[in-house]
Amino acid sequence: MDMKSDLFSFALALTMTALLGVGAMPSCLAQTALSKAISKEASTDASNATSKAAGDLESQSQSQAQSQAQFSGQFFAGVSEAELAQVFSKFQSCFVMLDLKRSKFHKINADLCSTRFSPCSTFKIFNSLVGLDTGVAKSERQVFAKKSESGLEEAQTMQAAMTNSLVWYYQAMAEKIGMARMKHYLKKVPYGNADATSGGGITRFWLGDSLKISPDEQVRFVADLVEDRLPFKTRSMAIVRGMMRLSENDKGILYGKTGSMMKDGKNELGWFVGYLVKPHGTYVFCTLIKAKDTSLDAGTPEDLQKQEDESNKAWGKQARKLTEEALSKLGLW
């Protein structure tokens, strides 16, 4: 019986007493009926209160989770942007990282990340893809040769040319690809400003010349390479990814390519672009470092010389070193 039935029983007992003139209803009967009614009501109220409390707790937990998610968006792995920026502080620099699993970007110096520069030797990634897709290179073991200054012939595979960043090898391959096909792929991807109309022609346009690409665009390009979204054959992309493999430790596998540019005999620009594969996800990154202008800095001649010497390290190997330091600080490498 529910609460209404218990109340009805209590009322019926009172009515029967009045009609039959029996006198007062036995107190035990009245108390029993009333107790049942009150007990049922209290039980119902308690149940409702428990349900409400559970609902409030769940709502509170969801609110806290949302708050934590919003907070975590300002940092990565508990490291603030200011803390990470210290890694790159000796240079004009930027760092951009894409967490592929969460489609989330993390950046240091966003303005510089959106500025285009010559890709330098990072263009070897693109050049390799075009070489493979056009059949100029059959595989990573494709051999090209040149005569050295001593007159001896030097032969190298594409894998060796990527690993050791051999400019002559990729210039030879670009000549075999030809400007028409190269321009076609530059626009089809597209790769940066897709401009190969330099005075240096097919062998120079990516080396401090007309072709420009931003760190943001580098990351998108490599992300598309990782996920087979570029307009190249799947086989070509798989081969190039394999060629980019650099090192492995207990935290993951590092892939990448450096790039450097010199001006007036000094290191002017350093790139490191690539990705890190971990058990729980993949992180695509790009670091760009530029030499600082120390001409207006104050200090002793010795201090200024030290600053200039540090700034002159703005090249690809230094960009890679700083990237690995940053990834380590983030707990990824």
Predicted pLDDT of residue 307: 56
Task: Give the residue carrying structure tokens 């029983």.
Answer: 9
Which of 93, 121, 260, 311 is the catalytic position?
121
DSSP sequence for 130-148: HHHHHTSS-STT-EEEEE-
What are the Cα distances from residue 126, in Å, to 191, 240, 283? 8, 9, 20
C-beta pairs of 88-91 under 8 Å, 24+ apart in sequence:
88/287, 88/289, 88/322, 88/326, 90/292, 90/310, 90/311, 90/313, 91/270, 91/289, 91/290, 91/291, 91/292, 91/311, 91/314
Question: In the prediction, which pLDDT does 270 show?
Answer: 98
CA gap 214, 124 in Å, rounded: 16
- Degrees to nearest 5, angle at CA 238 with 235 and 244: 145
Q: Dihedrals φ, ψ of 110, to 5°?
A: -60, -35
Structure confidence at residue 63 (pLDDT): 37
pLDDT at 306: 55
Token pair listed for 41: 């009501």
Among residues 79, 164, 173, the alpha carbon closest in space to that of 132 is found at 173
pLDDT on residue 37: 42
**For the chain, what is the largest distance between any 2 Cα atoms, rounded to a whole number of angstroms?**
134
- Give the 3-state secondary structure of residue 173: helix
Instruction: Residue 201: count other Cβ atoms within 10 Å of its Cβ.
Output: 13
Comparing C-alpha atoms, which of 85, 62, 65 is closest to residue 75? 85
Active site residue 67: no
**pLDDT of the residue at 173:** 98
Question: Can you list the pairs that 178-187 forms with residues at least 24 positions away whose Cβ atoms lie under 8 Å?
Answer: 178/202, 181/130, 181/134, 182/130, 185/126, 185/129, 185/130, 185/133, 185/231, 186/126, 186/211
pLDDT at 22: 37
CA atoms in the 13 A half-sphere facing the CB of 298: 0
Instruction: Report CA torsion sign: 186, 118, 260, 247.
Output: negative
For each of the chain's 333 residues, which pLDDT tens digit applies?
Answer: 454 445 445 444 444 444 344 344 444 434 444 344 434 444 444 344 444 434 443 444 343 333 332 223 444 778 888 999 999 999 999 999 999 999 999 999 999 999 999 999 999 999 999 999 999 999 999 999 998 777 778 999 999 999 999 999 999 999 999 999 999 999 999 999 999 998 889 999 999 999 999 999 999 999 999 999 999 999 999 999 999 999 999 999 999 999 999 988 889 999 999 999 999 999 999 999 999 875 555 566 665 555 555 556 899 999 999 999 999 999 999
| Paired sense of beta strands 281-290 and 104-108, if any | unpaired
Cα 58 from Cα 47, distance rounded (Å): 17
Beta partners for 130?
none
In one letter, which amino acid is 150? S
What 3-state DSSP class applies to 211?
A: coil
Asked if residues 299 and 117 have their Cβ atoms less than 8 Å apart, the reply is: no
Residue 198 class from Cβ within 10 Å (0-12 exposed, 13-18 middle, 19+ buried)?
middle
Using only C-alpha atoms, the chain has a radius of gyration, in whole angstroms, of: 35
